[in-house]
Amino acid sequence: MKYTLAAILTLAISAVAVQVTFPSETEGWETNGSQLVEWKSVSTDPTSCDIELTTPNNNTPTTIAKNVSVAEGSYIYTPSSPLQAGNGYRLNLVASGTISILAQSPQFNVTQGTSTVTPTSGMSQTSTSATHTSTTTSMSASASASHTSGAATHLTAPVSGLALLILGAVGAMA
């Protein structure tokens, strides 16, 4: 019985599998220009999310995009003013209309420079196919390809009421 509950708990937690893949601990953003946000998801994830940015000196996240299609896999963020160079930036992908964090990026750096992210094939700013280049590094990546150097290793999934109930039941049986 307790193995069945453990299996159910594993399924309940893995059902929310959004994972931020860019920016990462090793690949961040530049102070100027458009910035790429990229993630992986599965069909059981929510259909839309809001994207929040937490800056190093302010732990209160700022919403930078609302109701972004999770299935798209990427978003191009163009700040209204240059970002401040620094360490400790973080992104949250939050289920639209809730406070449930679906995924959280690792902390990343913003370095001095200009980033250019352009949708390919005439796609919109929520395109799943984009190219990112930087004037401060030789980094070039495609949003439709996976980043292998330092891809996000964090996965923050909200624990639902069902999962908490199952955890309690497993604990009571132990």
| Structural domain spans, the chain | 1-16+159-174, 18-157
Percentage of the residues of the chain whose pLDDT score is greater than 70: 59
Q: Average pLDDT, whole number, for the chain?
A: 73
Question: Distance between CA atoms of 143 and 147, rounded to whole angstroms?
Answer: 8
Instruction: Give the span between the Cα atoms of 119 and 115, in whole angstroms.
Output: 13
Decide: helix, strand or coil at residue 137: coil
C-alpha distances in Å from residue 60, one per residue of 8, 42, 55, 102, 146: 34, 28, 8, 17, 29
| Mean pLDDT score, 155-163 | 37
- Return d(Cα 111, Cα 130) in angstroms, integer: 21
**Bigger pLDDT: 43 or 135?**
43
Reported confidence tier of residue 59, pLDDT bands at 50, 70, 90: confident
- pLDDT score, position 120: 59
Q: Left (φ > 0), alpha (ψ -120 to 50) or beta: where does 113 sit?
A: left
- pTM score of the predicted model: 0.64
| Range with lowest mean pLDDT among 70-74, 105-109, 144-148 | 144-148
A 10 A CB-CB count for 108 gives 22
Contact 67, 44 (CB under 8 A): no
Residue 48: beta bridge partners? 69
Q: Is the pLDDT of residue 75 over 90?
A: yes
Query: Does the pLDDT at position 1 exceed 60?
Result: no
pLDDT at 15: 52
Read off the pLDDT of each residue in 154-166 and give the average, rounded to a whole number: 36
Instruction: Please write the tens of the pLDDT for every residue from 102-141.
Output: 999 999 999 999 998 877 543 344 433 344 444 443 333 3
CB 119 within 8 A of CB 129: yes
84-96 tens-digit pLDDT: 999 999 999 999 9
Range with the poorest average pLDDT among 30-44, 67-81, 116-130? 116-130
CATH for the 18-157 domain, from 2.60.40.10, 3.30.43.10, 2.40.30.10, 3.40.50.970: 2.60.40.10
**Bridge partners (DSSP) listed for residue 92:** 52, 104
- Percent of the chain at pLDDT > 90 equals 54
Cis? peptide before 61, omega within 30° of 0: no
Alpha-carbon torsion angle 24, 27, 33, 34, nearest 10: -40
